[in-house]
Chains A and B, each alone.
Chain A
Amino acid sequence: MTDFVFNSRYCSMLLAALFFGASLGLASPSFAQSVGLPAPRLLTTTPMGAKVGSQVEVTISGEHIEDADELTFSDRRITATRKLNATGQPEPNKYVVTVAADCPVGIHEARVMTRLGISSSRAFSVGTLDEAVQTKANTTLATAMELKVNSICNATMTQRAVDHYVFEATKGQRVIVDCATRGIDSKLDAVVIIADAVGRDLLVERRGGVLDFTVPTDGKYVIKVHELTFKGGQPYYYRLAVSELPVGAPIVRLPSTKPVNSFSWPPQGLKEQAELAETEPNNDRTRAQKISLPCDIGGSFFPAADVDVFEFEAKKGDVWWVEVASERFGLPTDPSILVQHVARAGDTEKLTDVAEFSDIPSPVKVSSNGYAYDGPPYNAGTADILGKLEIKEDGLHRLQISDLFGGTRNDPKNVYRLVIRKAAPDFAVVAWAMHMELRNGDRNAVSKPLALRGGATMALEVVAIRRDGFDGDIDLAMEGLPEGVTASGLKIPAGQSRGLMLVTANQNAPRAVGSGTLFGRAIIDGAAVNRPCRLASFAWPIPDSWGEIPSPRLMADVPVSVSGLEFAPITVSPPKEVQTVIAGEKLTIPLLHTRRSEFSGAVLQLRAMGSGFDRTPQFDVSLTADQSQAVLDTAALKVAPGDYLIAFYGGAVAKYRHQPEAVTAAEENHKKVMQELMAIEAEVKKLTEAAKAAATEAKPEADKAVEAATAKQKAAAAAVTAAADRLKAATAAAAPRDIVDIVVSEPIAIRVNPAEKK
């Protein structure tokens, strides 16, 4: 049996390897290519937060941020300046961050502006506790770091180790230990343990919860923190808070970012607090809680296997909409609702199922996180509930709500909000950077910031959750773009859930950053409504989807930038004017290629995106030609007359050169320091000869001059070596390398006119 398992696994791996090889072969002749053109990514800030009304020194790290200048935050009440060294020069990657006293407590986005544009975001926490920073290894009891109660420590987990902290507390004190990890973009699945003074474990929390510790005796206590599987390194950082709380007071968790699916909550106009609270015991029919519709109830899936039963009267033909939020609060719940009609005859009841509600499915296929890309790794769906309740008979109805994950769990924090309302048609939208299959297993390109190269078009996938039967068109728009950047929404057509937003920087767009705003717009019941669209992204690039399951989140804002220094490898431009075609006929669209790079491979395979034309068969355009054409067959596509906005996209392997201008600068610098060295060498030679010839009384002075010149010579030689190294590094970085990325054409407006009736 063991052998069989082993062999079958071996076979699977072999097949996977073969498949991998075959896929690579199809995608590109090169095995060495990487995925996604360099994008600036801010990966860590140390510390990861600051106390409100304080100033703190922050060190950053990331990808392609070597030349970062400004550090910015989503809330303007957090500001940063470069840290200067003793000579007044900015220290690389160091900033002085000031958090204003009126800055809201919570998570804010931190980003840096780089040569390539605005970086991806890193969560930056603002809190009220005193901040501490782990400054040296604390992986043993003996080296445990002292932590004061009511403070928070910013730390990075060491691989294969357990971090130790020690705090002092008195008997009866209630100490809360909370550890922020995934909620502040860390990869850490934290295990937090409170132990006695000699390190013997007393309380353990491994599921991201808090430790609520009542101190048994006066003394020192140890907190141990480690990653569930003892991983460590820079991405595994955390903020460990130790605070005192009065007995009975509710625990307030450290702030956390929001999951992607929370974009669809709350419905428009919903009050902050529910109007009604569930009243236990309401666990069975004999103790059902009486309600009337519409209603808005707050409840809790507590205790274990809790069922909350409500009863209401309804009339045949009534239509209600039922919505529940719980998982969207970031809770590990799976609400389920059953509505039954109750017909009573004496003591007996006849129950008839009217409706059963469970998940809100994702409107688009979600990635299975397999090796091949099969959908966006963002789940806009949720385990929460949104459904239509049609009353089929007059009379008493019973609704019961339970948590399908709550059979054995006893946690009153697993709350829900149940809303039953008359139809209020609406929608909520969320967007993320569009991805496509570029290379198996590599999801690197999905965590791109909106940092545009000149001449590039970036596509955002926009997905809608429709509420209460709304099925009209949803137009997409974007505002607040920097100069030279335009946005074109490829609408979410009626009855569908997916649209696209194309953000294009023209070739001459100047280097800039703007705070963009995304919208979905629709006409509902004759009125125009405008709904903000949240942007989702990943905390980390994912080059190996087998080794890491992505954990995307919603962003607080939508900054858009243009590099001004780097350009898209190719721009595919259709004519600016509207292309017209008669329904049933073919439309030929000329495409202009602006190439700024060499490419690996001769053709670019293009597909169409945009309602009406997205089933256009894939077609090839030459990567060596300056122009090509697309032929769209409106008959085959059965396109109805009307106005359309589309674009073409495909994957191309560019021979990318990173910062070639740095090579020139490095060469010039190298040349300059070489000249300086030569000059000083000549000087040394001259002074040495002079010293040899100097009279006895002048000798000490001459020797001193030689010594000083020799020191200068050494420094100049070191400068030459450093300049040579920089030149070498710049040359290596600028050497062409194959990088596959998505190419999106500029948008094309098409008008399909009706065919003339014969």
Chain B
Amino acid sequence: MVQNGVELWRPSTLIVDSSGSEMFFSINDARLRIPSRSRFFAVFVALLIISVPQPDYAAERPVSFVNEVMPVLTKAGCNVGVCHAKAGNGQNGFQLSLLGFEPLEDFEHLVKEGRGRRLFAGAPERSVLLLKASGQVPHGGGVRLEPSSEGFALLREWIRQGTPYDRDGDPKLVSFEVEPARGTVKRGAEQQLTARAKYSDGSVRDVTGKALYESNDKAMAEVSERGLVKISDIVGNAAVMVRYQGKVSVYSASVPLGAPVENLPSSKSFVDEQVFANLKALGIPPSAVCDDATFLRRVTLDIGGRLPTEEEAAAFLASKDEAKRDKVIDELLRSPDYADFFANKWTALLKNRRDDASDTVSNFAFHAWVRDSFLANKPYDQFVRELLAATGTVIGNPPVAWYKRVKEPKQQIEDVAQLFLGVRMQCAQCHHHPFERWSQDDYYSLTAFFSQVGRKPSGTRGEDLIFHKRGIAVAENMKTGVPLKPGALGDAIPEIAADEDPRLKLADWMGSKNNPFFAKSLVNRYWKHFFVRGLIEPEDDIRDTNPPTNPALLEALEKHFIASGFDLKELVRVITQSRAYQLSEEPNEHNVVDRQNYSRYYPRRLQAEVLLDAIDRLAGTQTDFANLPPGTRAVALPDNSYNRSSQFLRVFGRPEAESVCECERVQSSSLAQSLHLLNAPELKAKLATPTGRAERLAKEDKPAEAKVRELYLAAFSREPRPQELKTAIDYLNEPGTAANANYQDLIWALINTKEFLFNH
């Protein structure tokens, strides 16, 4: 939309747009940007333009509905989902296709619907379309096109020409590019983008003013409606997605800090090489490698979902073994804690949700299957294959439980695509994906893989036996009615015979070495697990228009993962052994602004279950979960049902397993969390329990110093600093209070530190 537009001459041809510090002259498709301080120059240019004879639409060429009218409607926001492209019947009976993906349908709606009353060739400016769009008559969507705007003029001219539709031979949009495609931009600087559309007749048009722009990280880069990118003071890589008529292009900006990068830690593997190369390129000096205590606590929390025990911490700190970090990683990967913690992560994403008591057995079985798979280090492709192509009964083959939760083929492919491929296909069910190349055919071709899933009653209420139903797999495109054979996101799938389970073919495709999504999606997800931020964010929205912040690293991780035979433990090993993972969270003078290049560790609050277990460990207590053995850890809970009885888990955001998105887990802080930690009865009871640590320490006959050391090792995996030790002992020695109360207070205080609540 034009802001502060001033009409100088024929309103459709010359627009002066002075928004902020910039000024544009636009004549049809040509644009000239003039700094606002050059007012004199501006007036000169304006006069010059006025003196040039302007083209006449009617005399020169007919207005193209597809190539010119549609972009105006799209740019004006008429055909977004909340307006006239709303599913159902559009807005107040006037429907347009989403973002103009169906021009012919839009033409029919505009020209023929409503008995043609929307357009009036006799007096084009009196057309309902223009009167509404310009706000001259009441319009729920407000003013979308100023009467003085170029778009308004174009629509008026098209109406005047008799609302023609494009002829067969008219040029078609074939490609679309943004320039520059990438570049290095200083912090606080600006970059004007130019969008060019190339047509089938070889012509190229500047469509900068008609394209749509969206930054993938608004904190780093903002972009105006006319393609001017403004970089903030955050360093790293940003991308701007530019869309035009169903085509998408992307501008990638590298925003360096430019500080000297010296004394990099020695690289442990390709991970460090790529992380440090990126930091060097951006001029961001990394923080130092963290100390042993921080490392042990961090890696134990990240792999095992628990705090190190005091004994583990003491032994690790005392060890002089140079390989002790690598060894502890291996030890953690061997332990069932790893399997429990990652099963907790995956079962929520795989919707292991209890809605009824009769779900109990299947949920336990499914959780156990996931957990055992991680314990046995089942290759990831095999794990996914067993899930996708599950057959039989839940007890006999627990991944069948996924089919109990996710029943419809559409839901199945949407979940599979998002979770295992990092591709969000939901949009393509009803229309072409607005940011991606996925069409409805792609969507239904993927659905076809699940079209032959047969179900038989199992004898257990709510559970079906799942089997492959013989037949040729097809799914009908809901819009066109055309039956489609299985197709995997643009990749050709060989003919699938009626006897072959198409899901196995999908699994074959996913696990093939050349699959562009499968390994990438997983390594990005796991990278995020350990580094808080994915190389692509959100981690399940991988697309050309959302490039990774470190493409070389992502590619290297992907290759390593595939070469390892989809070995998840090896992936965790290579990530956690890296110096990059072991950097301190303490920023140096330069890298405090870095939020995406991993120049330091980004602290993260402990997940709900991990925090509850950590508190139990420190307080020397156990949380009792219904019908589970005493001592069951919160990270080992099989499903979401325990959230109902645990206010703690709810307050700290344990997911309900309703979504395949990791975002369902709430990691943000809240007042309720603070209050809970400060004075919830549950916490008080843990501190005061007669079998708890406070009571034991109060009774134990050993020096107070040793007891404080035990507490610090248990809470932070480190020795107390001299001042901390003194403060603690002074407090414990305060007269007039019972010893057990003092120990309770001390533990309470430790729990309420950021050092305890965060993995850092």
Contacts and interface: CB of A to CB of B under 8 A. Distances in A.
B391 A405 contact: yes
A239 B55 CA distance: 94
Contact of B365 (A228, A230, A367, A400): A228
Interface string A398-420: 00101011111100000000000
B85 interface: no
B375 A201 contact: yes
A204 B375 contact: yes
B213 to A, nearest CB: 34
A379 B459 CA distance: 10
Contact of A207 (B355, B389, B395): B395
A423 B628 CA distance: 56
B348 interface: no
A549 B457 contact: no
Contact of A228 (B368, B393, B397, B457): B368
Interface stretch (A36-44, A331-339, A695-703): A331-339
Interface stretch (B274-282, B460-468, B519-527, B551-559): B460-468
A229 interface: yes
Contacts of B457: 368
A113 interface: no
Interface string A221-246: 00000101111000000000000000
A2 B368 CA distance: 26
B336 A189 contact: no
A546 B356 CA distance: 12
B460 A549 contact: yes
A334 B392 contact: yes
A405 B629 contact: no
Contacts of A405: 391-392, 396-397, 465, 467
B375 A230 contact: no
Given A200-B334, A201-B336, A408 B386 contact: yes
A370 interface: yes
Given A230-B629, A379-B459, A407 B395 contact: no
A149 interface: no
A400 B465 CA distance: 22
A206 B368 contact: yes
A464 interface: no
B365 A407 contact: no
Contact of B385 (A229, A379, A408): A408
Most buried by B among A203, A206, A400: A206
Contacts of A9: 355-356
A189 B627 CA distance: 15
A407 B392 CA distance: 10
Interface residue tally on A, bucketed by range: 35 or more
Interface string A708-735: 0000000000000000000000000000
A200 B503 CA distance: 35
Contacts of A367: 459
A631 to B, nearest CB: 40
A379 B499 CA distance: 27
Given A379-B459, A405-B467, A549-B459, A206 B369 contact: yes
Given A368-B457, A405-B396, A200 B391 contact: no
Contacts of A407: 389-391, 468, 501, 503-504
B28 interface: no
A558 B368 CA distance: 40
Contact of A229 (B335, B364, B396): B364
Interface in A538-553: 546, 549
A546 B600 CA distance: 55
A161 B391 contact: no
A405 B364 CA distance: 21
Contacts of B372: 204, 206
A5 B640 CA distance: 15
Nearest to B454: A404
Given A201-B336, A207-B396, A407-B391, A226 B629 contact: yes
Nearest to B624: A160
A404 B468 contact: yes
B385 A334 contact: no
Contacts of B389: 407-408
Most buried by B among A203, A370, A404: A404
B361 interface: yes
A228 B356 contact: no
Contacts of B386: 408
Interface in B367-418: 368-369, 372, 375-376, 385-386, 389-393, 395-399
A337 B459 CA distance: 24
Contact of A206 (B335, B358, B365, B460): B365
Contacts of B627: 160, 229-231
A328 B630 CA distance: 40
Most buried by B among A1, A139, A204, A338: A204
B630 A160 contact: yes
Given A9-B356, A200-B335, A307-B499, A369 B361 contact: no
A191 interface: yes
A369 B392 contact: no
A161 B656 CA distance: 26
A228 B395 CA distance: 10
A8 to B, nearest CB: 10
Nearest to A406: B391
Contacts of A203: 376
A1 B368 CA distance: 28
B139 interface: no
A1 B398 CA distance: 27
B470 interface: yes
A356 B393 contact: no
B216 interface: no
17 contacts: A161-B629, A207-B396, A226-B629, A228-B368, A230-B627, A231-B627, A332-B393, A334-B467, A369-B460, A379-B459, A404-B468, A405-B396, A405-B467, A407-B391, A408-B397, A409-B397, A549-B460
Given A5-B355, A204-B372, 20 more contacts: A1-B658, A2-B656, A191-B368, A204-B375, A204-B376, A206-B368, A206-B398, A207-B396, A228-B364, A229-B627, A230-B627, A305-B501, A305-B504, A332-B396, A334-B465, A334-B467, A356-B470, A404-B454, A408-B390, A546-B358
